[in-house]
Chains A and B, each alone.
Chain A
């Protein structure tokens, strides 16, 4: 696995990637201990669990898996002292097209994840936790299981960890090639050994009826790693790195038509989209201009290069005014990307230059969703297939003038009518591609 992570850009602020990015860093426990490993896990046990949850709340950490939900608030849904067992499931399915960050943690810095999990489990009174990772990360199992064994040997996992009387077992669980398993309730069904059909919410909110129908926290790999650093830096310091309500650093994974694609860990809100593409990623290929950006994984709505959107801002006299923001000045935090009509999602930024055909690109994504629908609800199962067939027809033979509006119509009839958010994830590309680039979806000669 290449050196993509080994050359931090000067504007990066590396916390989660700090060690993983060092060329001579190895995944064994001695190396981790020599780099300050397990210091915060030990410290956690000197704190009251409620104090840890408060720290995470105050840090303004938002989930890095897709929905950007405040992690402390999610943890607050767990009633620490109810009678039931609680579980933690770490989401390492990382299948959202454009996303490639958790892979570095799982392969290069496994103990950081374990330390984050230990702190989380102590805070939430959890004694059994799973790490769910896609099986395409073929070496992750051996690396993580070795790390788990090392931590056991040191007394950091198993019975009476750190001599505190607290028991915790962590196991690694491999997926089997299905994107839908990244959806949290699908992940739980998969972990229970069933077909991974997402559960309907309500009532199946994981924090209420999760794994084995017990309260369960599902968090992304990167999210859990941040927990260690919140304890290390203190929530105030951690929060101050980001923007109000969106603390710390976030890994943005840039792919597509830039000179230097890669994962970049940046203080939240410290760069604009323009800076990300042109300063950090070395700009576009020679002679090319920017056409479109998908800002947060393939499911987020596409943004058009010359787009200008309005945000609410404070004027000098303190009143709120509408401010016009050109796309390249969009700040890369959850709120700003949402204000531009899309989402920061999983941080997967896919850049397209003027050589790209938007119908072709959409058709590629439609085929992805057609392949990955779990098939449980009719609008999604049928709709994504129709969308993929239609966009294929529009490229090739048999295209009709009404195809674009039919395509849009199908998407409109999926979103909001399904069990899980895959319905939206599959519809947003079609809706946004057609809305933003209507000229490319007309009849072709």
Chain B
């Protein structure tokens, strides 16, 4: 309620409330500087260019580039760790909580390394009616993943780290159910045999 009331009376304000402050523990800060410097060495020129380019898409507010930067980071490193959050926050002149809260909210982002091949099986109604639970079980069995493992911040991953398998909600292809995303590619009308073949192909 309070927050709401405040919102209503506030002047339209697109300035960022999360600007970094200069308070805080100095020694922690030094550690962080060191780890950020290390991180920066690992950023390739290409990634840095992509980051600069993405920011130009948001002339009104740099903060809008948060999701694009997180995507670029995750595509590059496979996941987003603490130093990534810190680096992006600095790049956008934000406090790191403003980035961390995105990583923890959006299911697509993860904070731990996934398996080499990521399989996302659609769990929702049309796919479930077409057998997606069986397909999911098949993927888990063939890769040795415990399907009871939940949570997207560390994906259920096979012991050999070759596969991560997770259920996701409707992938927007219900007409060719059941579907799954294998890394970047959509597999449609996935039968149990298809599932087996996918595992073979990516093993």
Contact = CB atoms under 8 A, between A and B. Distances in A.
A124 B188 CA distance: 40
Interface stretch (A18-26, A171-179, A330-338, A389-397): A171-179
B174 A134 contact: no
Interface in B80-117: 92, 98, 101-102, 105-109
B60 A212 contact: yes
Contacts of A102: 172
Contacts of A368: 123-125, 169-170
B102 to A, nearest CB: 7
Interface-centre pick from B13, B57, B170 (highest chain A CB count, 10 A): B170
A386 to B, nearest CB: 18
Given A134-B172, A195-B105, A212-B61, A200 B125 contact: no
A357 B128 CA distance: 12
A364 B124 contact: yes
Interface stretch (A9-17, A74-82, A90-98): A90-98
A352 B129 contact: yes
Interface in A280-332: 298
Contact of B108 (A96, A99, A177, A372): A177
B98 to A, nearest CB: 8
A253 interface: yes
B161 to A, nearest CB: 22
A138 interface: yes
Contacts of B102: 176, 193-195
Interface-centre pick from B66, B106, B169, B188 (highest chain A CB count, 10 A): B169
Given A138-B181, A356-B129, A174 B13 contact: no
How many residues of A sit at the interface, in one of the four size bands? Answer: 35 or more
A196 B105 contact: yes
A68 to B, nearest CB: 20
B137 to A, nearest CB: 16
Given A136-B181, A212-B60, A350-B125, A173 B174 contact: no
Interface stretch (B67-75, B139-147, B193-201): B67-75
B153 to A, nearest CB: 12
Given A138-B184, A196-B105, A174 B68 contact: yes
A364 B169 CA distance: 10
A253 B174 contact: yes
A97 B130 CA distance: 14
Given A213-B14, A255-B126, A298-B125, A192 B63 contact: yes
A259 interface: no
A361 interface: yes
A54 B54 CA distance: 36
B125 A361 contact: yes
B129 A261 contact: no
B175 A350 contact: no
Contacts of A162: none
B191 interface: no
A241 interface: no
Contacts of A177: 106-109, 168
26 contacts: A1-B186, A2-B188, A94-B172, A95-B170, A97-B169, A134-B172, A136-B120, A138-B184, A173-B64, A174-B67, A176-B71, A178-B106, A179-B169, A179-B170, A193-B61, A193-B66, A194-B63, A194-B98, A195-B101, A196-B105, A213-B12, A214-B12, A256-B129, A364-B124, A365-B124, A368-B170
Shortest 5 CB-CB distances between A and B: which pairs? A213-B12, A177-B108, A176-B106, A193-B66, A255-B174
